[in-house]
Chain A
Amino acid sequence: MNKQIVILAVLGIAAYLLMSSIYTVSEVEQMIITQFGKPVGQPVTSAGLKVKVPFIQEVNPIDKRVLEWDGNPSDMPTKDKLYISVDLFARWRITDPLQYFLRLRDERSAQSRLDDILGSETRNAVAKHELIEIIRTTKDRVPLRDALLTEAERDMGSLVPIQKGRKQVEQEIFAAAAEKVQVFGIELLDIRFKRINYNESVRPKIYDRMISERRQIAERFLSEGNGEAARIRGNRVRDLNKIQSEAYRQVEEIRGVADAKATEIYARAYNQSPEAVAFYEFTRTMQSYKSIIAENTTLVLSTDSDLFKFLKGMSPNGDSPSARVAAGERR
């Protein structure tokens, strides 16, 4: 019985020894072997099953992949004194694991170094540039213009000009920081602005400006509408007058022609001979009596008149009756 227990114990100890003398290295990591806390030998960078001295040696895994650094958004002023909130991210990798292990030991302290270094370099760079320099990238881009905007609103649909642009500012931050992190066995791969936003305190002013710009456009639309409407109304009055006066002119012309024609016809007929003139006068006068003499007319006629001359007798002094009639008819 005891023998068996001893065998079991030996087996157990042997297994434990075995377990503590082998270790695996993954594709994504490299190992630093430490002996009583002190690194020994070169870091193990190839993946697979490895052997070490049990108990005495310990393995410290260090990531081999590209790592990310995600900065906290922080508020800082630009050169044009605008408070903005800037959020950066960076990619980095551990190039000298031994150095990294000695200086930083773990990733938490690496991240906090990056926070410090990138944070201050960002502040420096942002303070040296106007906001637009870190917003825009392409120097000579010509924006599409909204068809709604007029020439007068040129400042509205266009981009603010820049000297450097976002890429260059990023590059400046990168160059300054990359140098500083080298001592930690870290290589900075690149940094990029993730978010740049107006600080809360600046926003209302920006919004006010945007609102006033829009209002400006809205007002223009209204006044364009009113202007165009007025023009149309003017056209209406003009066209109406034109049409009506043309109508008047043509009507009068036609009537004039008609009257002239009628006059000509009458004249030609009535004026053909002295006899015709006299006859016309006579018949026309006769005709006019019918309308001139109405019911309430009082007619005083002499018995000398041609009509009534026979009232006095059968044979009146009948000389030139026409003259007598003419005289007698004028009441």
Chain B
Amino acid sequence: MTSQHGNGGQGGPWGGGGTPPDLEVLVRQGQDWLRQLLPGGGSRGLIALALLALAGLGAWTAYYTVPSDSVAVVQRFGKYLKEVPPGLHFKLPLGIDAATIVPVKRQLKQEFGFTTPGASDPYQSPLDGNRHKRETEMVTGDLNAALVEWVVQYRISDPVKFLFEVREPSDTLRYVSESVMREVVGDRTVDEVITIGRQEIETEALTKMQALSTKYAMGISIDQVQLKNINPPEPVQESFNEVNQAQQEKEKLINEARRDYNKVIPLAEGEKDQRIREADGYRLKRVNEAEGDVARFSALLAEYRKAPEVTRRRIYIETLQDVMPGIRSKIIIDEQARSILPLLNLDTRKGDQP
């Protein structure tokens, strides 16, 4: 911690360069210069030259410009004088008036846990590479660990407070932001921090940071807190992935089983319908055939009734006439010639077998 005092002390982070040289330093330089010149003689001309130089320096330090996104805070002999809007302005020269430029309209931000390269605001990024990592490490309310990166968007709302109330408002904002973020994360489970509670964390952190910055009277108004990457610690990340993978795997297993189910069941339903329809066909066939048979039989019977004996004979003879030609071996025997039978036994038996 370096203690800054004198004229440069109140110089804000952006105003330091615009402050004209200190009055005392100027005079001391003038004295040195005189001392060098005096022994040489021809002093009148030299004195005139010195006065001219002094006047030039005075003119040089008598004006300043304020950029459009800023205001200037003017101090006379260190005492607060006025706030000046953007534009070209004049002041008392030679360190009597000092103007500090404060970018009140610029949206400023601080990054925690990561660095956007090329930032012009030295307070935007973590102060050094080492703190980078440490900034993100947090302990959650279920005693787990998480790595949190976030951004705070803020503006300088009151340049006078910003310059005169707190010595290092930007640093203090960093501390406040870290402290509040840990407080909020500390009240949450690791699941809330990593997945389901992000929105809530942003809102609560913003509210708490705003309350603190008001309490600290830093002249800063905080507009937004945005969470960036939130990860479990490196060694644990893999197991978090495992959970995701297992979830996918679960879906996969179920889908595969469903696939097998779908492959079989609708087909079986179809086959069931097929069999029922076939059975129905059988039923129709059977009934129709029966009715056909019966119709034929009935017709036949009606005729038969008219001449039974002849019909019977006719049918008998017709049938045998149909059947007989197809038979290879036919043996016709006479009742009186029974003695031939034994010789034909084999053949008969053979014929018995279908």
Give residues in A with beta carbon < 8 Å to B: 1, 4-5, 8, 12, 15-16, 19, 24-29, 46-49, 61, 63, 65-68, 70, 73, 89, 91, 106-108, 111, 131-132, 135-138, 141, 143-146, 148-149, 156-160, 166, 192-198, 203-204, 206-207, 209-211, 213-215, 217-222, 224-226, 228-233, 235-236, 239-240, 243-244, 246-248, 250-252, 254-255, 257-259, 261-263, 265-266, 268-270, 275-276, 279-280, 282-283, 286-287, 289-290, 293-304, 306-308, 311-312, 321-322, 325, 331
Q: Are B182 and A194 in contact (CB under 8 A)?
A: yes
- The 8 tightest CB contacts between A and B, nearest first, are A298-B351, A225-B250, A258-B283, A26-B78, A229-B257, A247-B272, A225-B253, A218-B246
Select which of B261, B331, B350 is within 8 A of A232 by beta carbon.
Answer: B261
What's the least CB distance linking A125 to chain B, in Å?
16
Contact B293 A266 (CB under 8 A): yes
CB B49 to nearest CB in A, in angstroms, measures 14
Binding site for A on B (CB under 8 A): 1, 3, 5-7, 9-10, 24, 27, 31, 34, 38, 41, 43, 47, 75-80, 134-135, 137-145, 163-168, 171-172, 175-176, 178-179, 182-183, 186-192, 195-197, 200, 216-217, 232-233, 235-236, 238-240, 242-243, 245-247, 249-254, 256-258, 260-261, 264-265, 268-269, 271-273, 275-276, 278-280, 282-287, 289-291, 293-294, 297-298, 300-301, 304-305, 308, 312-313, 315-317, 319-320, 322-324, 326-335, 344, 347-348, 350-354
- Which of A48, A106, A331 lies in contact with B352, CB distance below 8 A? A331
- On whether the beta carbons of A265 and B290 are closer than 8 Å, the reply is yes
Q: How far is the CB of B178 from chain A (nearest CB, A)?
A: 5
Q: How far is the CA of A157 from the CA of B143 in the complex (A)?
A: 11
CA distance A195 to B148 in the complex (A): 12
A303 to B326, CA, bound (A): 20
Are A286 and B319 within 8 A (Cβ)? Answer: yes
In the complex formed, the residue of A with least CB distance to B270 is A243
Asked if A302 and B216 sit within 8 Å, CB to CB, the answer is no
Whether the Cβ atoms of A295 and B239 lie closer than 8 Å is no
| Chain A binding surface SS class | helix
Report whether A299 and B294 are in contact in the complex, using a CB–CB cutoff of 8 Å. no
CB-nearest residue of chain B to A239: B265
B280 contact set on A, CB distance < 8 A: 254
With A279-B304, A280-B297: A159-B189 Cβ-Cβ less than 8 Å: yes
Q: Are A265 and B294 in contact (CB under 8 A)?
A: yes
Residue pairs across A and B with Cβ atoms less than 8 A apart, 19 shown, are A24-B78, A26-B5, A47-B80, A48-B77, A66-B166, A66-B167, A137-B187, A144-B191, A144-B192, A166-B183, A196-B186, A206-B144, A222-B253, A233-B260, A240-B265, A259-B286, A275-B305, A296-B328, A307-B317
B73 CB → nearest A CB, Å? 9
Residues of chain A within 8 A of B291, CB atoms compared = 265
Q: How close is A140's CB to chain B, nearest CB, in angstroms?
A: 11
CB of B297 within 8 A of CB of A141, answer no
Tell me whether A210 and B145 are in contact (CB under 8 A): yes
Q: How far is the CA of A196 from the CA of B333 in the complex (A)?
A: 124
Q: How far is the CA of A134 from the CA of B305 in the complex (A)?
A: 117
User: Whole-angstrom distance from the CB of B87 to the nearest CB of chain A?
Assistant: 24
A243–B189 touching, CB < 8 Å: no
Tell me whether B282 and A321 are in contact (CB under 8 A): no
Q: Is there an interface contact between B188 and A29, defined as CB atoms closer than 8 Å?
A: no
Q: Which residues of B are found within 8 Å of A89, using beta-carbon distances?
A: 175, 179
Contact A296 B351 (CB under 8 A): yes
In the complex formed, the residue of A with least CB distance to B22 is A24
Report whether A224 and B250 are in contact in the complex, using a CB–CB cutoff of 8 Å: yes
Closest to A149 in B: B191
Partner of B187, one of A141, A229, A232, A307: A141
Contact call A222/B249, Cβ cutoff below 8 A = yes
* A134-B184 Cα distance, complex, nearest whole Å: 12
The answer to whether B286 touches A65 (Cβ under 8 A) is no
Contact of A207 among B47, B145, B186, B192 (CB under 8 A): B145
On whether the beta carbons of A299 and B191 are closer than 8 Å, the reply is no
Whether A261 contacts B287 in the complex (CB less than 8 A), given A28-B10, A240-B265, A299-B329, comes out as yes
A265 to B286, CA, bound (A): 10
B312 partner residues in chain A, CB cutoff 8 A: 282, 322
B327 touches A293 (CB 8 A): yes
CB neighbours of B273 from chain A (8 A): 247
| Contact indicator A229/B256 (Cβ below 8 Å) | yes
Instruction: Report whether B143 and A192 are in contact in the complex, using a CB–CB cutoff of 8 Å.
Output: no
> Which of A8, A49, A194 touches B38 (beta carbons < 8 Å)?
A8
Known contacts: A106-B3, A228-B257. The answer to whether A247 contacts B275 by CB under 8 A is yes
